[in-house]
A and B are shown apart, each in its own frame.
Chain A
Amino acid sequence: MAEGIDPLELMPVSRMARPLRALLRGWAGVVLGFLYLPIAFMVLFSFGESRTPGLPFRGPTLHWYQEMLSNGVLMEAVWTSIQLAAVATTLSTLIGTMAAFPLVRSGFRSAGAARIVFTLPIMLPGALIGIALLIFFRRALGVDLSFWTVVMGHIVFTMPFVVLIVSARLQGFDRNLEWAAADLGASPARAMRHVVLPLIAPAIVAGALISVTLSIDEFVITFFTVGPQSTLPTYIYTQIKFGVTPEVNAVATVLLLGTVLLLGLAWAAAGQARRLSRIFGRRRARERIG
């Protein structure tokens, strides 16, 4: 039985069960509406003709998307965000993947504690990290805020995700495969390249994609650590001071689309990792029986 639900579980236990269930279904709809209606309106208004977004809706038009593309300052902010995401993701994927190996494999006594320390920034408030970094850069290091300070700010909170995802994958990795590679004449470096990396690649890709989406969206830490340039989120923030224009709606819609796309890819990559680990799981099960 795949994902089927036992019909018995759906059997009403009291007369009130059926109407209650309908009520709950309605409530779930209200909650979902609360979550997604604002986003739906934002998308809708980005296609509206009116300069001040609102109902009744007139359109649709792609006018604001054209405006967006011809807005030099906005495009520069987008370009900065893309560069920032690319650099921060590359570095945090590299560092995070490398950190995952000793965290999982070294077997040193405080590995569990070390993993918590490594992943704690996920749980810390962004404002706290932002202020701490700002003080650190300006007062402790005495450097000017720039593209590189914001890169470092982004690494602080994207790297933990890479560590989490890659170490989960490494945890389920069958060390026998590395022995087999060595047995068949592969030096440690070649075993890493031909056996270990291809098998943990889905997790690395998933970690990288999540880093990209986090970095593109991040406002708070960027706000505290960025230099004179603006990124997409900080640009939107400054625009909103002058009132919400449909142009901002258009930008946000594009951002939404991009984020959903990347998260979809990350999910697919993680699924690939799960599929492979299921194969390992079966193998381990056989080993236990045998």
Chain B
Amino acid sequence: MSVPAIELVDATKRYGTSMALDRVSLRIERGEFFCLLGPSGCGKTTTLNLIGGFIPLTSGELRIEGQRVNDMPPHKRNVNTVFQNYALFPHMTVEENVAFGLRMARLGSGETATRVDEYLALVGLEAFHDRLPAQLSGGQQQRVALARALARRPAVLLLDEPLGALDLKLRKQMQVELARIHRQVGTTFVFVTHDQEEALSMATRIAVMSAGRVVQSGTPRDIYYHPVDRFVADFIGESNFLEGVAVRDGARSYVRLGGGSTVDAPADAPPGSVTLMVRPESVSVGPAPATNGEASLSGRVIHVAFIGNHTRVTVRTPAGDIVALRPHSEGSASSALDELLDQEVCAWWSPRDSTIVAHGSTEKIDERLV
């Protein structure tokens, strides 16, 4: 395997007695769009600041492109950062901001001008050379920060919640832009966010962090469909959790749930006490399963909510409440679903779409962030 862009080995950061980062090991390959995802205080920004060189490691090792950089000051590291508040220099024009890093690298004036033009064009701000940051909108400032950091052509670009201050629409737009810029320049991106949707939509790989540790890392699909524990499942999207006991009976395995019902389990379910997870969009609701071999529970519809592009149906079963998300196909107008309220129905899903998750950390996620 080639030399990774970033490698953390047992990286630990302690502030007094509190552990900000606890033996984190990460390997970020070149060209990845790597996302550090987690609630506030999970250590994701600490990790970024360690890589940027703004705070020193307590123990462990940090390598950038194979070189150990534990004690290298930030101005000598081959990484650049897009700060959360952009940190544009208010006394410099857009052009001077982007040129700053090049001037510090003592690039010739001709080469500097070419690069400034190149990177301002990359972010679509060709016409803004002489503006001051105060004369730009939030989205434009964000682009200047991006151009300024990329203009030095770093090995790794660090982004610290760069979209956090933008409104929803602009954020969506910038997500698309960032993905395009990443494809175009091919630089390794390390992106910190608490927004799971942002992480899922842009990242090639995600590390979910909690309490100073990496809980799970993998592709967005991996993490969404096969979360290792309840924390990850809860943090990334909505889930139904069913507590029960897994039983293997020959080739078939099933889970005995509370209330006496049983459902088919995924084939790899280990026998014993388990938590079964199934995503709401995998659950169907109706009079009875259309095909055999589905895991199904019967219950009463207690809530129907129209949420624009979907309708959310909550079914109370003896094993617990099950949430199903139903898209509006032409045949099912939402008014038809409204009639489901208080009806006795079946909720079913394919066992393949369910996953056994570890009980995991039960800590409550800060609601503001979800």
Residues of A at the B interface (CB closer than 8 Å) are 174, 176-177, 179-187, 190-191, 194-195, 198-199, 276, 279-280, 283-284, 286-287, 289-290
Complex Cα spacing A199 to B210, Å: 38
Interface size class of B (residues with CB under 8 A): 20 to 34
Complex Cα spacing A191 to B104, Å: 10
Q: A194-B100, A195-B89, A289-B165 are in contact. Are A183 and B84 (CB under 8 A)?
A: no
B 48-88 contacts with A by CB, 8 A:
52-54, 73-76, 79-81, 83-88
B152 within 8 A of A: yes
Complex Cα spacing A78 to B81, Å: 55
CB of B130, distance to nearest CB on chain A (Å) = 17
Task: Establish whether residues B84 and A290, one from each chain, have CB atoms under 8 Å apart when the complex forms.
Answer: yes
Complex Cα spacing A176 to B52, Å: 13
CB of B193, distance to nearest CB on chain A (Å) = 12
CB of A129, distance to nearest CB on chain B (Å) = 37
CB of A219, distance to nearest CB on chain B (Å) = 39
Task: Establish whether residues B138 and A286, one from each chain, have CB atoms under 8 Å apart when the complex forms.
Answer: yes
- Give the residues in chain A near B74, CB-CB below 8 Å: 179, 182-183
Q: A286-B165, A290-B161 are in contact. Are A183 and B52 (CB under 8 A)?
A: yes
- Give the residues in chain B near A194, CB-CB below 8 Å: 100
Taking a contact as CB atoms closer than 8 A, the residue among B85, B89, B105 that contacts A185 in the complex is B105
Q: A279-B134, A287-B165 are in contact. Are A177 and B89 (CB under 8 A)?
A: yes
Complex Cα spacing A179 to B134, Å: 19
Taking a contact as CB atoms closer than 8 A, the residue among A177, A187, A198 that contacts B87 in the complex is A177
Task: Establish whether residues A184 and B101, one from each chain, have CB atoms under 8 Å apart when the complex forms.
Answer: yes
Q: A179-B74, A185-B101, A185-B104 are in contact. Are A290 and B89 (CB under 8 A)?
A: no
Pairs across A and B, CB under 8 Å, 6 listed: A174-B85, A179-B87, A182-B54, A184-B101, A283-B86, A284-B85
Task: Establish whether residues B100 and A181, one from each chain, have CB atoms under 8 Å apart when the complex forms.
Answer: yes
Residue on B with the closest CB to A184? B101
B91 within 8 A of A: yes
Task: Establish whether residues B80 and A198, one from each chain, have CB atoms under 8 Å apart when the complex forms.
Answer: no
Task: Establish whether residues A199 and B91, one from each chain, have CB atoms under 8 Å apart when the complex forms.
Answer: yes
B148 within 8 A of A: yes
B 36-56 contacts with A by CB, 8 A:
52-54
Task: Establish whether residues A184 and B85, one from each chain, have CB atoms under 8 Å apart when the complex forms.
Answer: no
Complex Cα spacing A94 to B120, Å: 39
Complex Cα spacing A290 to B90, Å: 20
Residue on B with the closest CB to A284? B85
B258 within 8 A of A: no
B164 within 8 A of A: yes
CB of B194, distance to nearest CB on chain A (Å) = 11
Task: Establish whether residues B91 and A180, one from each chain, have CB atoms under 8 Å apart when the complex forms.
Answer: no
A-facing mask of B12-56, CB < 8 A → 1, else 0?
000000000000000000000000000000000000000011100
Residue on A with the closest CB to B85? A287
Complex Cα spacing A195 to B104, Å: 12
Complex Cα spacing A90 to B91, Å: 25
Complex Cα spacing A182 to B83, Å: 12
CB of A170, distance to nearest CB on chain B (Å) = 15
Residue on B with the closest CB to A183? B81
- Give the residues in chain A near B164, CB-CB below 8 Å: 290
Task: Establish whether residues B75 and A183, one from each chain, have CB atoms under 8 Å apart when the complex forms.
Answer: yes
Task: Establish whether residues B90 and A286, one from each chain, have CB atoms under 8 Å apart when the complex forms.
Answer: no
- Give the residues in chain B near A286, CB-CB below 8 Å: 85, 138, 165
Complex Cα spacing A283 to B138, Å: 10
Taking a contact as CB atoms closer than 8 A, the residue among A182, A199, A284, A289 that contacts B75 in the complex is A182
- Give the residues in chain B near A290, CB-CB below 8 Å: 84-85, 161, 164-165
Task: Establish whether residues B90 and A276, one from each chain, have CB atoms under 8 Å apart when the complex forms.
Answer: yes
Residue on A with the closest CB to B86? A283
CB of A178, distance to nearest CB on chain B (Å) = 9
- Give the residues in chain A near B104, CB-CB below 8 Å: 181, 184-186, 190
Taking a contact as CB atoms closer than 8 A, the residue among B53, B91, B152 that contacts A184 in the complex is B152
Task: Establish whether residues B80 and A184, one from each chain, have CB atoms under 8 Å apart when the complex forms.
Answer: yes
Instruction: Give the interface centre of A174, A181, A182 by most chain B CB atoms within 10 Å.
Output: A182
Residue on A with the closest CB to B103? A194
